[in-house]
Structure 1
Amino acid sequence: MTCGAVWFHVIPWCQRSSECVFMRNSQVVLVSMPWAFLEMPSIALGLLSGVLQRAGVTPVARSFNLVFMEWLRRHLPEGDEALSLADYRAISSAASAGLGDWIFSVPPFREPDAGGDARYLERLARDEVLPARLLSRLEALRAQVPGFIDACVDALLRHTPAMVGFSTTFNQNVPSLLLARRLKERAPQVRVVFGGANCDGPMGRGLLEAFDCVDVVVQGEAEGVIVGLVEDILAGRPVTPRHGVLVRGAAEPVGAPPPVRMDDVPVPDYGFFFEELERTGFRRELITNVKLPVETARGCWWGQKQHCTFCGLNGSSMAFRSKSVDRALRDFEELAARHRWLDFVAVDNIIDLAYLRELLPRLEARGLDLRVFYETKANLTRQQVRDMRAAGIHRIQPGIESLSTPILKLMRKGVTAWQNVRLLKWCAQFDVRVSWNILYGFPEEPAGEYPRMAAAVRSLTHLEPPHLSRLHVQRFSPYHQTPERFGLRLEGPLFHYGHVYPQRGARLEAIAYDFEYAYLDGREPESYVGELRRAVQQWGAVHERDRGRLTWRQGPGFVRIVDERESVGYASYLLEGAQAEAYLACDEGLTAARVHQLLHDQGHTGLGQDEVETFLRELTEAGLLYEADQRFVSLALRARPEMLG
């Protein structure tokens, strides 16, 4: 090749398919509305497009969340008034406050209510849901919604659809309903179908009864019913009610559709997302953060054994099943090859334990530079964490939720505080990022655990910090199903529903997912969580500046520990002989009695158990060990992790 010769060229995403979707007529259009995350395509649209294509129907899928961001960039003032990608994500992440829904709660969906809107914004400010800078611009964002919705209707009608399907989860409800209403006003012949998590259980029937712009609601897994539904609509027939398909004016069928066999689900195609992204002005800014959803399992195997008291994520679909290892591997490889992409988010609620033994080694053997997110339980072994990182799993959400074993028992998490800390350490050791929370406000929780946690976390600032969040009571959780049994009293839908929806009473309750509650014993968690809140905020600040390091190095007969954490300044510790062996033994989290036994077995017969326990407590006071449930967990990371066995 001569100097300066061009031997490659970049093919724009919109040119990688034979036909651009925005110029194609289709009788079926599938839509994902704001406030779905910008950096991830809708897996529902990708999967259902594949199912319909198998049946000979070629749908159009539209990522209107991307279109909305582009609309705002073009119509809002530039400079400080512009909406950044981070601003969009902050609003999207505030689903529990109903913020994304409120922005779209404009005529003709809901009539103006200046007083109610002012009270809603005051509540957001009081609860510090958003930075003041962004909070002050919400009305300007809201003013852009009518024009955006009309532009979306224009775009939909250019496809001449017979059916428009909306996938709605969390704060996509009102944006979807507003667009559906405007679409029906201009094209009443178009059949509107809703599906997604917001349609599960009573919420689906509630949406159908409350909003006449919705013709059909699909509940549960749509892969087994979407083809028959579309065939009815395209043939001009009335939609046949069937399991999981609710039809306006028809008798309600009994039960959800039967679960699909996971290996029969198509590999999703996300070409529509990249085509939409190519037409935005923020592609270059967003593209490095794009992650492709991949699904290898549904349901929750832990929830089948013991339903966590606060969790409502699985709704009516708790039964766990997963793809075969061969099929899971194929999903990663096919998606990577098709889209030339390597970053993935597994949308599974929990990883299949069999994958730890069978899938991870095969992913590692492929030699692909994948970056994958998975949800797990927190009682992983050190080898499992190491295998995850080697396979390309670089971030996990392990459901840690607390550093108090008594509170974890109230949650039914099936793990202990020392196991949670041990996992944080191992993840730091093997460079696996951790997304985790400390939840508070559980009924009957011992208040004294919070100052204890506040004191203990000061030794953890070299590890990944958590978010601190108050308990939410969600539909389908045990707290919602039998609140009195747990010491709670439900007090209707969460505050924001009344500021977002025009419905009231039973109709509003039917479509709500989050609920207000009171404690039967009259407790007020904010009165005892303040010290922990300050400790967690300081932890996060230290981590952002420079989390510092706490490391150990092995020498001949000794261990040198160097503490460079901000809270300490600098300290160095020399542990020799039995002391060094005792510290290294605590990697797994051991009792003083077990450490004493190990030292005895290694020939240190002159040490008493009291001496060993005193030494371990001294190291705990120095912040080198973490003690919980009479277990001691070492906190220092090996300076040379490649030396770990």
Structure 2
Amino acid sequence: MNLSIKNGDFIFAVMPWAYPDTPVLGPSLLQSILKNSGYRSQIIYPNFQFYHAVDPVLYYSLSNDHSLFELSDHLFSCYIHGKERIKSDHFLQALGQQHIEHKLGKNYVEFLSRIRDVDIPEFINALALLITEKEIPAIGFSCTYNQVLASMALAKGIKKIQPEIKTIFGGPSLAGKMGIAHHQKYPDIIDHIFIGEADEIIADIVDGILQNKTDMKIPGLTQYKNGLVKGPDRVPVTQRLDDLPTPDFSDFFEQRNAMNGEGVHLPTMRPLPYESSRGCWWAEKKNCSFCGFNGLARQYRLKSPLRVTAELESLSTAYVNLDFSACDNNINNSHFDILFPTIAQTNVDYSLWYQIRPDISKKNVMALKRGKVVYVHAGIESFSDNILKLMQKGVKYLKNIQLLKWCREAGIKVSYMILWGMPGETPLDYSKMAALVPFIVHLDPPLRMQFIELHRFSPMFTEPDKFGITETYIRENYQYVYPLDMLEPDLFYYFNFYASSTKDAMEYTKDLHDAINLWAELHHNIETKPVLEMKLGKDFLLIHDNRCGENLKYFLNQIQKEIILYGDSICKISTIYDLFKLKCPELNTLQIYNEFETLKKNGLIIIENDQYLSLPTRTLIMA
């Protein structure tokens, strides 16, 4: 294995199935903290090596498809437990009944068997040997999603050769009870699990290891003693983000460049990660029903605008990069007033990615655009007010469409998903959404429809009765990840659930699935991409509409023009009636009503109760 490891360094290992298109923010930040504290560390990216060893398309599927996470974990679990103990041959054959061929190909059993029997043992054994040849005091694993089993496999390989090397695990997949349960079941390969944010603690951990302390009473760190794991007395949460150093991505680029120099084709890089806040300010008020993110650290904390811009400048200069993706869960309103105007004043052509709530104002959309934001992931989730209420989103569907319209006008790409299977939803919710789609196909389509997952820490998990969930249970395929005698709910983040209201969801969501698939297809080809655009005249409005496949032109009169322009943001219909009574007293109520009906009939406005929203877009002129 061609991977350079330095003598004496504390190592962070980024294991499969992390996708090798971006550095990992957490370990990169901890590495900078250790450097500032006088300790040497190195981040190794074995996921590069493994990506090259297996089929890249297969790696991508196992890395990114949530429905395949148990399979990707299973393959490394065979190294830990033995394939017979977790019935691997039976599992791989049974996958055919789960219609896996369309994701992994017809020869998936052959490919997966080779990964399990050849690629993984060779990969883990070579990596463990390489690490143990150096004077390494400890190795750390930060585990998200499906990295836990791969990390434990390497820890086992290391312990077989050199058991005195300390293994420390952390990350969101081992938060809370999950970390304690894993340590209790695998004390032979896990020395400690860190629960919480390690920024202010990591130097103490490394110092304790270097001094061979056997009883490190450090906040957030588990201890195994006399056959039992003692969890941490408190979970550390970093308060002052401005005090944190800039993350160090140099190991990522050094190893990536070395692989590229050997002719290995790694995937195109994504924007570099950074953070301008932590936690979720909305969750502090009312957590979304399905969301378990930041389960132990929802408190919202901000970096100052000057600190964020300084960090962007430093990272951009160090790695000759202009594309950045914020790891923030959502944007605080103060960022619109201070951070993005500050970034706008920089003479640098950044391309920034952010996650946002959909209920932001047009002024704030403009602030994003001026602040070099080109891509947002929005928490839209549904176009049904009933479902959005069940999800505790704190927003109505017209706001979601309004955001899509404004971002289209500003040239900001929006990604989002439509979630289905929410307990309490009705077939009528989906028939209404399916009927709505043809009117909004000129806006960015969702990435996909996603069945609602039950996450640990989410309100649906902690208060199932409130949501009509009558049964919560371990996912069936977990029996092929952990031996049956080790299975317990505390190990897991994802669960299955049963709610009688959604038992026929596959049937009543079909029309919406079909409509969204067609919507996405229309946007794949520039020639078929729908438009609904308007151009202003002095006392008229021209509309170009090809949403239905025909090129339609509408000439709107002064009254219709006023209705469209006032409806740029969600507007009360009664407000428009009052307005026209003042501006045009000669107009009667029936005349105004007829103009609304004409616009509605042509799909140029959406009316919901006493509110409406106009749908045509107009390219914004950025001041």
User: 1:38 deviation in Å?
Assistant: 1.6
- How big is each residue's C-alpha offset from its partner over 1:624-643, in whole Å with a ceiling of 9 and x where there is no partner? 223335422222111x432x
Q: Does 1:279 align with 2:258?
A: yes
User: Which position in structure 2 is the counterpart of 1:78?
Assistant: none
Q: What are the within-5 Å matches in structure 2 for residues 220-619 of structure 1?
A: 220-249=196-225, 251-281=230-260, 286=266, 288-466=268-446, 467-504=448-485, 507-521=487-501, 523-546=503-526, 547-565=529-547, 567-601=548-582, 603-619=583-599
Other structure's SS at 2:533 match: strand
Q: Distance in 2 between matches of 1:392 and 1:36?
A: 28
- Residues 1:597 and 1:316: Cα distance change in structure 2 (over 3 Å): same
- How big is each residue's C-alpha offset from its partner over 1:212-234, in whole Å with a ceiling of 9 and x where there is no partner? 20000000101122111111111
Other structure's SS at 1:184 match: helix
- Residues 1:61 and 1:124: Cα distance change in structure 2 (over 3 Å): farther
Query: How many pairs are equivalent?
Result: 609
Unaligned runs of at least 5 residues, structure 1: 1-19, 73-81
Q: Distance in 1 between matches of 2:266 and 2:412?
A: 23
Other structure's SS at 2:238 match: coil
Q: What are the within-5 Å matches in structure 2 for residues 9-48 of structure 1?
A: 22=4, 24-48=6-30
Q: Distance in 1 between matches of 2:443 and 2:167?
A: 48
Contact 1:498 1:504 in 2 (8 A): no
Q: Distance in 2 between matches of 1:31 and 1:151?
A: 14
Contact 2:287 2:392 in 1 (8 A): yes
Q: What are the within-5 Å matches in structure 2 for residues 171-210 of structure 1?
A: 171-210=146-185
User: 1:462 deviation in Å?
Assistant: 1.5
User: Which position in structure 2 is the counterpart of 1:139?
Assistant: 113
Q: Which shows bigger deviation, 210-219 or 523-532?
A: 523-532
User: Which position in structure 2 is the counterpart of 1:149?
Assistant: 124
Contact 2:418 2:450 in 1 (8 A): yes
User: 1:187 deviation in Å?
Assistant: 1.1
User: 1:418 deviation in Å?
Assistant: 0.3
Q: Does 1:106 align with 2:78?
A: yes
User: 1:21 deviation in Å?
Assistant: 8.7
Q: Which shows bigger deviation, 305-314 or 138-147?
A: 138-147
- Residues 1:186 and 1:384: Cα distance change in structure 2 (over 3 Å): same
User: 1:283 deviation in Å?
Assistant: 7.9
Unaligned runs of at least 5 residues, structure 2: none
Q: Which amino acid aligns with 2:72?
A: G
User: Which position in structure 2 is the counterpart of 1:65?
Assistant: 47
Contact 2:430 2:508 in 1 (8 A): yes
Q: Distance in 2 between matches of 1:474 and 1:120?
A: 26
Q: Distance in 1 between matches of 2:354 and 2:502?
A: 38
Q: What's the TM-score, normalizing by structure 2?
A: 0.93
Other structure's SS at 2:564 match: helix
User: 1:71 deviation in Å?
Assistant: 2.6
Q: Distance in 2 between matches of 1:55 and 1:178?
A: 30
Contact 1:457 1:535 in 2 (8 A): yes
- Residues 1:291 and 1:553: Cα distance change in structure 2 (over 3 Å): same
- How big is each residue's C-alpha offset from its partner over 1:250-274, in whole Å with a ceiling of 9 and x where there is no partner? 6433221243421111110100110
User: 1:541 deviation in Å?
Assistant: 0.9
- How big is each residue's C-alpha offset from its partner over 1:368-391, in whole Å with a ceiling of 9 and x where there is no partner? 111111111101111211221221
Q: Distance in 1 between matches of 2:532 and 2:563?
A: 17
User: 1:435 deviation in Å?
Assistant: 1.2
Contact 1:241 1:251 in 2 (8 A): no
User: 1:479 deviation in Å?
Assistant: 0.6
Other structure's SS at 1:164 match: strand
Other structure's SS at 1:448 match: helix
Q: Which shows bigger deviation, 577-586 or 417-426?
A: 577-586
Q: Distance in 1 between matches of 2:211 and 2:282?
A: 44
User: 1:245 deviation in Å?
Assistant: 0.5
Q: Distance in 2 between matches of 1:283 and 1:449?
A: 52
- How big is each residue's C-alpha offset from its partner over 1:337-368, in whole Å with a ceiling of 9 and x where there is no partner? 11111111111111122111101011011021
Supply the RMSD in Å over aligned alpha carbons: 2.2
Q: Does 1:122 align with 2:103?
A: no
- How big is each residue's C-alpha offset from its partner over 1:267-325, in whole Å with a ceiling of 9 and x where there is no partner? 10100110111122498965753321101111110000001111001111111111112
Q: Which amino acid aligns with 1:237?
A: K
Contact 2:62 2:68 in 1 (8 A): no
Contact 1:164 1:190 in 2 (8 A): yes
Q: Distance in 2 between matches of 1:58 and 1:578?
A: 70
Q: Distance in 1 between matches of 2:256 and 2:89?
A: 38
User: 1:125 deviation in Å?
Assistant: 1.8
Q: What's the TM-score, normalizing by structure 1?
A: 0.90
- How big is each residue's C-alpha offset from its partner over 1:125-164, in whole Å with a ceiling of 9 and x where there is no partner? 26x8825368564334334111111222133224321100
User: 1:478 deviation in Å?
Assistant: 0.6
Q: Which amino acid aligns with 1:88?
A: Y
Q: Distance in 1 between matches of 2:485 and 2:543?
A: 62
Q: Distance in 2 between matches of 1:135 and 1:619?
A: 53
Q: Which amino acid aligns with 2:21?
A: E
- How big is each residue's C-alpha offset from its partner over 1:169-198, in whole Å with a ceiling of 9 and x where there is no partner? 101111111111111111111000001001
- Residues 1:572 and 1:139: Cα distance change in structure 2 (over 3 Å): farther
